Amino acid sequence: MYVIAVLNQKGGAGKTTIATHLARTLQLGGADVLLVDSDPQGSARDWAAVRDDQPLPVVGIDRPTIERDLKSVARKDYVVIDGAPQAHDLAVSAMKAADFVLVPVQPSPYDIWATSDLVDLVKQRIEITDGRLKAAFVISRAIKGTRIGAEVTDILLGYELPVLESRITQRVIYPGSAASGMTALDQDPNGEAAEEMRALTAEVRALIETPVPAI
């Protein structure tokens, strides 16, 4: 079972959009997937409840016991955790449970600087686990037709975590499909949004399933 935590303590980074789409993409690829909503506001749970025939199972664990509570969950191929903003204890608990931490950031220096505390926590956890925890940034809510500035990439690289090649663009279909409890892959499986989410999922899978070299 692989556990992926989508974390950023700054709100508005697109965590829930990425978490729901990542989980649904994995599921459509044939994996047995559970989405965990660790945000006390319950955005992912609200999203799931809109659709009566919701195919993606979603549970709420919004206490700092995620790593312990997941042990009592029936084993899945993947568990995706939708992280809570501005909650240090929940972020630490999600990291303890995770094999991979995905950090969505908007392509703005201000948003990237705001992730510094989270990145420090991630790097500490990577060190504690001797590199078993993996992590990466993904640019989220990029404006279509604009170029991501070199200064933004330079700032990200300065944090010494990988930056995924995949980019998640700001598109109307993301909130539009969410209003129906669906994802872009359900609403327009051949569209650009579905393609970028499949690319993100493939990149994350390649990283998470690569064995850690023995020390």
CATH code assigned at 143: 3.40.50.300
- What is the Cα–Cα distance from 61 to 94, expressed in whole angstroms? 10
**Domain housing 125:** 2-208
If one counts the domains in the chain, the total is: 1
- What is the Cα–Cα distance from 25 to 4, expressed in whole angstroms? 13
| pLDDT value at residue 121 | 92
- What is the Cα–Cα distance from 180 to 159, expressed in whole angstroms? 37
- Domain assignment present for residue 213? The answer is no
Edge-to-edge order in the sheet of strand 58-60? 58-60, 33-37, 78-82, 2-6, 100-105, 134-142, 163-169
Residue 210's contacts (CB-CB under 8 Å, 6 or more residues apart) are: none
- Domain assignment present for residue 129? The answer is yes
Chain CA centroid to CA 20, Å: 8
Find out whether 98 and 5 touch, Cβ atoms under 8 Å.
yes
- Domain assignment present for residue 214? The answer is no
Q: How confident is the model at residue 66 (pLDDT cuts 50, 70, 90)?
A: very high
| pLDDT value at residue 180 | 95
The predicted model gives 152-156 an average pLDDT of: 79
The whole model's pTM is what? 0.94
Alpha-helical runs (H) found in the chain: 15-28, 43-50, 66-69, 88-97, 109-113, 116-128, 150-157, 173-178, 184-187, 192-208
| pLDDT value at residue 214 | 54
Q: How confident is the model at residue 213 (pLDDT cuts 50, 70, 90)?
A: low
169 or 152, greater pLDDT? 169
- Domain assignment present for residue 26? The answer is yes
Tens digit of pLDDT for each residue in 34-63? 999 999 999 999 999 999 999 999 999 999
Percentage of the chain exceeding pLDDT 70: 95
Angle between helices 116-128 and 88-97 (to 10 degrees): 30
